Structure 1
Amino acid sequence: MEKKLLDAAMEGNITMLKDLIQEDPLVLDRALASCVSETPLHIASMLGHLGFVKELLSHRPELASELDSRGSTPLHLAAAKGHAEIVKELALVDPAACMVRNEDGWTALHVAAVKGRVKVLSELARVSTESTRALTDRGETVLHLCVGHNRLEGLKALADAFGKDDDFLNWKDFDGNTILHIAVAKKQVEIIKFLLTSTGVNVNALNANSSTALDILMQSLRDLRDMEIEDSLRSVGAKSAKDVQPIVHDWARVPTRHHQISRRLGSAALSLKEGDSMKPAAQKKPSDWLGRKRSSLMVVASLLATVAFQSALTPPGGVWQDDLKVDDKGNPVDNPHSVGTAVMSYKQPKEYGLFMIFNTIAFLTSLSIILLLVSGLPINRRRWVWIQMVIMWVAISTLVITYFISLRQMSPDASNVKKMLREVTEKSVLTWLCLMVVVFVGNCVRMNLWVLRKYGYIKPKEESAPIDDELEEEEN
């Protein structure tokens, strides 16, 4: 008998249902008491047999509250399939079913939103206003589900139903994301435009990571839609989190000028009593300075070592590509050479010697800086950094000399070229020497000032302005 009832539900055969009830008046009660997860109403609701559903509800309306193996009511199944008329009948018979959650934590309205069943959404929003406020297990509203599954038409239908309820439109899930955050993260251009132009969504709301919708866009992988989305956001005043100024709404808690001055004086007195607590802050600046200098030295030293190494492998003029020790007749030649040796060493041995000397100095000084930085020795002091900077000056200067030797070697012997090269070299060397003198004098002055401050000959630098001056500025 139960199998016949399920077959009738599958076919939507109302006549067979009536015959079964007439033959056995308890057939529907047995279906309720059965261990089978799906009732005939589940099947008929899922398949869209409206007449069969009405007939079942007229005999046993309690079937509307039965759950299947996934915790779904017949209303869930009808909503998922988009059978709006059946949804209407089920919701009228058992309004409480609108608030029942399945094993995914979704109500029938949530299921309709995910599936994009616009008519069902409108019907459920009209019949059960309370269900529109139900949240998922992740704190998401039905609007979050529409946006998350790119259901623009469903979102429009719900936005019309909610009207001017901006609080609900700006509801945040457990991650602090509004529907605009989600739309921007998924780069749903049409939904973003709709939210910005037709709803009261807050474009500068912050999520749990203190990010606005614009921040999420900037942090995402870039594609062709980003420019259009960014223009849409900025056109309505969207900002990054760093530009969003918090607004204090509780004006009773805003301190007056007298309270601000008293608090500052109290903080100043506390800092004078607990002078040790200021030491870590005072030491933070040198530490940052040393860290930046070490990083800069490592980068520049690596670059100089690479250039010097490459110059040694490919000197000006290149290397011989063949062996030449005897002529075609087997007689020794006047200027023999071997493959792979530098051409410059045969043609201009003196200049080649200078080139290799200065290039080697640049290479070794650069490597020495790298070695000191990675050696693990306790060199985290200013004087060690100054020593490394002096070594760096030597490396740069010798590399400059190497450059001019190479330039001279590669230039032709024409008189006008030699004259121009000499002028360029003289002016460049003079400029370089002036720059080195300025740097040297500046660092000497800094070192002398540091020594004088250390031994008390001059007044140390003041870390911050006096409190009285600060208060005077506020009064003005």
Structure 2
Amino acid sequence: MNSSGFTPRDILDLLLQSGGDFYDIHIYQIFNQVGAMKAREITTNYNAYNRTQAESQRIMRSSCSWNLWKELMKEVSESSTETQNALMVVAVLIATVTYQAILSPPSGFWSAEKGKSQTINTVQKRGMTPGEAVMASDPEIFAVFTVFNAIGFFASLAMISLLTSGFPLRAGLRLAILSMTGTYVISVIYTGPTKMREIYIVVILMGLLFLAEWVRFTMWLLKKWGVIPYTRRRH
């Protein structure tokens, strides 16, 4: 393709349209035999190639995520029963401690009586409300505490899900974990320096996830009871 965007096939077509001779027709036949393309055909093929490459990259990324999950599953399955039990105990302990840390933060909560009787600079600036964590009077400290606590909580839940992936009642377990996650998120937002509007948004989102998990759990029960025929996945 030249700087004007024409290929030899395009130039030959222009010559034939303006009245070519026998040699031009012979060259045209040779171009057809070797599969010479026009400029628009090259552009179409290039766009199709780009779409194919993008789809291949997307499939490769999803395949990498699936391979990572399979490697984790393989690591768990190859470990001994004692190791799995020890990991489960540690994961449950971390989940319990981090969950309790949100329900009972180190500094406690503001009460209505204290809010009326005490005058603190940070409280006067922000207008602390009853039920809000005292630590929330310093938003930076509260944010750091919440982030590290959430990392430990969600990492422990992921470990529990991984260790119980072969559990027969895994659908119900997912539902229980999701419900506990919802209460954790709502507790963080309710005790922190936020407004009710954000709580409603979280409740709606967690409600949708809860509904999706409940549907999956119901479908699993119906398949177990034989109401819905069970179909195996083809590999």
**TMscore range, shorter length:** 0.3 to 0.5
Q: Tell which structure's C-alpha radius of gyration is larger.
A: 1
| Larger RCO, structures 1/2 (Cα 8 Å, 6+ apart) | 2
Higher helix share: 2
Q: TM-score, normalised by structure 1?
A: 0.17
